[in-house]
Amino acid sequence: MQYTTLGRTGLRVSVAGLGCGGNSRLGLGSGKSDADAIALVRAAFDLGVTFFDTAEVYGTEEVLGRALAGIPRDHVVISSKSRILDDGGTPLPSAAVLANLEKSLRKLAVDYIDVFHLHAVQDAHYAYARDELVPMLLRQKEKGTIRHLGITESPPRDPDQLMLSHALGDPCWEVVMLAYHMMNQGPRRTVFPLTMARGVGTLLMFVVRNIFSRPALLAQTLKDLADEGLVPREIADADEPLRFLMHDGGASSLTDAAYRFARYEPGAQVILFGTGDQEHLRTNVASLLKPPLPRADVEKLHALFANLRDVGLVFPDFARAPFSIATPYVERLEHR
Ligand SMILES: NC(=O)c1ccc[n+]([C@@H]2O[C@H](COP(=O)([O-])OP(=O)(O)OC[C@H]3O[C@@H](n4cnc5c(N)ncnc54)[C@H](OP(=O)(O)O)[C@@H]3O)[C@@H](O)[C@H]2O)c1
């Protein structure tokens, strides 16, 4: 494993971080058992993964806590989150966010959370989060229940990273979580220059999601983009559109390309990967430890896709059936 320092938190963390949310939820999302999820977390730890990201809404805090029990607390870095809106979309009072933090501590069975985030904050709610919730969180930091404060974006609702652009002007955030992938390169302009200048740690999500784990979805997305004149027609018409990345000395698969592309972006620190599959765990960690993709391939990805926005950020099933207010909160948060 390779390790890095997470911004000005000073925390040493593995560059590969196990995401306990997304559609995999450690495998619980596809019907696997708690025992399978615990085995997956332990296998990740055995491979050197020390960064684990969960959240109140994922339903994986308890199983993560059980999996990490017995490992000395300072050998792992735990990241969790509280939502800031209720099921009807009304901002939660700080007492409710504090109650969520206390619930997370109980479920994880820990005395403190290394990085505690406000979850999927939209730009319209940012000022509320900073002015009403951060003072309470800073008091918790003084008490020691939180070590560092973070904020995560809601990518499909904020494809231009407006919330993070504002948040990075405020000194309270030590860590941010953002969506970044081969066809969502906006943060190279909007986020990474600010995090690097200000010593803010970065956690990258959505690096593969479904656009690079389902070839048919990638092919359809490229056809749609070509129809809009946003990518060259010959790329969209190719049998395997990103085949140019796969060659001797290049990537071995689409997911290999996606994780390596993100890993070596200047400003990228922890690459989160979500999986419920031990084989994917091993190949993803191996990808993240390989050298960068060849420079010519990265330049081609920049030339082809740098100007795209709002691509590959929704789960495909939700793209066809937009959620309503009746959709369970956890799904709305995750899918949009
Ligand atoms: N707003 C927020 O704060 C927010 C929102 C979303 C996510 N997150 C965090 O970010 C983490 C990472 O996001 P993500 O879960 O979407 O991760 P991701 O790594 O970008 O994508 C995971 C998807 O790719 C599949 N996959 C993973 N490795 C694969 C491989 N080698 N081959 C084929 N398919 C593979 C997974 O299925 P398998 O299970 O089959 O491997 C899963 O469907 C989440 O787990 C969560 O902790 C935060």
pLDDT in tens, 163-177: 999 999 999 999 999
Structural domain spans, the chain: 3-335
- pLDDT tens digit string along 254-269? 999 999 999 999 999 9
C-alpha pair distances (Å), 195 with each of 17, 151, 171, 306, 318: 19, 13, 11, 19, 31
For residue 333, pLDDT beyond 70 = no
As for ligand 1, residues whose beta carbon falls within 6 Å of it are 19-24, 53, 119-120, 152, 154, 177, 205-209, 213, 255, 272-277, 280, 283-284, 334
Contacts 24+ apart (CB under 8 A), 92-95: 93/132, 94/132, 94/133, 94/135, 94/136
**Residue whose CA is closest, atom 21 of ligand 1?**
209
pLDDT at 230: 96
Atom 34 of ligand 1, residue of closest alpha carbon? 213
pLDDT at 328 over 70: no
Residue 303 has pLDDT above 70, yes or no: yes
Mean pLDDT for all residues in the chain = 93
Determine the distance separating the centroid of ligand 1 and the alpha carbon of 23, expressed in angstroms: 7
Q: What is the pLDDT of residue 319?
A: 41
* pLDDT cut 70: percent of the chain above it: 94
- % of the chain at pLDDT higher than 90: 91
Question: Options 3.20.20.100, 3.40.1160.10, 3.30.930.10, 3.40.50.300; which CATH number does 3-335 get?
Answer: 3.20.20.100
Name which of 79, 89, 82, 73 is nearest 52 in CA terms: 79
Closest ligand 1 atom, residue 55 Cα: 47
Q: Which pLDDT score, from 0 to 100, does residue 317 have? A: 54
Distance 26 CA to ligand 1 centre (A): 9
